[in-house]
Amino acid sequence: MKNIQILSGIVLIALGFTSCKDEKQEQAKKTIDSYVSYVDSVKNVAADDLKADWAAVEAEYDRRAENAKLALAEIKDNAAETERINTSKVKYEEFKNEMTAKLAPPVSSKQQLRNALFGEGKIGDDVSFAWVNAQNIHSVYQQFVHTVENNKDSYSREDWDEIKLLYEALDSRKNTVEKEGLSSEDNRKIAGLKIKFAPMYTVNRMGAKSEENKEAKK
């Protein structure tokens, strides 16, 4: 009789452990469900409605994502749940990129011009050319001059003034780079680009000013 009682006790303890383990797995799945549902619900909200509370949205996402990650460890065969989490993560990152673009302040026409001439974000308000060196300066001049050539008919007088300012700043950087190992071959190619730019600037800058004067008279 005593042995039967001991055996029954062992069985009850085992069942208790199993029940506890099942509860943890169920709770873990609910936590993952909550994460997946949150991502889906956020994506269904209009961007304009999220702008004011975007910081709170990100904080809540981070919290649920961390909880889902911890919950995954509680699930024995978690391949399906791992896939669900990864899919929702990709969805959120894509949505986050869209929101980041919408929340970013509009780029001024001056900055758009700088981005076109030198590359996205290369030249900011400080007009620093510290990133230009003996290895890349020829390609920088090349992009600058070719971009100007391709768009010369669309530039305003103010654009040409900005172009001249940037050109002179680049030339100033070249004076430094020449002492840092600029090859004679690149120097020769840059000289050719400068010869192309000078008359193009003069003629088109004058043309833009004349066009603006005509518009002003109207």
Average per-residue pLDDT in the chain?
Answer: 85
DSSP string computed for 134-184: TTTHHHHHHHHHHHHHHHTTT--HHHHHHHHHHHHHHHHHHHHHGGGT--H
pLDDT for the residue numbered 218: 53
Please give the structure tokens belonging to residue 17: 């452990």
Say which DSSP state 196 is in. Answer: H
**In whole angstroms, how far apart are CA 72 and each of 106, 113, 174?**
41, 49, 57
Note the residue count of the chain.
Answer: 218
Residues with Cβ within 8 Å of 196's Cβ and at least 6 positions away in sequence, in order, are: 145, 149
What does each C-alpha distance from 40 to 16, 35, 152 come to in angstroms?
Answer: 36, 9, 47
Q: Give yes or no for residue 182 having a pLDDT over 70.
A: yes
Least confident among 47-51, 71-75, 89-93, 150-154:
47-51
**23 confidence band (pLDDT: 50, 70, 90):** confident
Please report, rounded to a whole number, the percentage of residues in the chain having pLDDT higher than 70.
Answer: 86
pLDDT band at 175 (very low <50, low <70, confident <90, very high): very high
pTM of the full predicted structure?
A: 0.57
Kindly list the domain boundaries of the chain, sorted by start residue: 2-103, 109-217
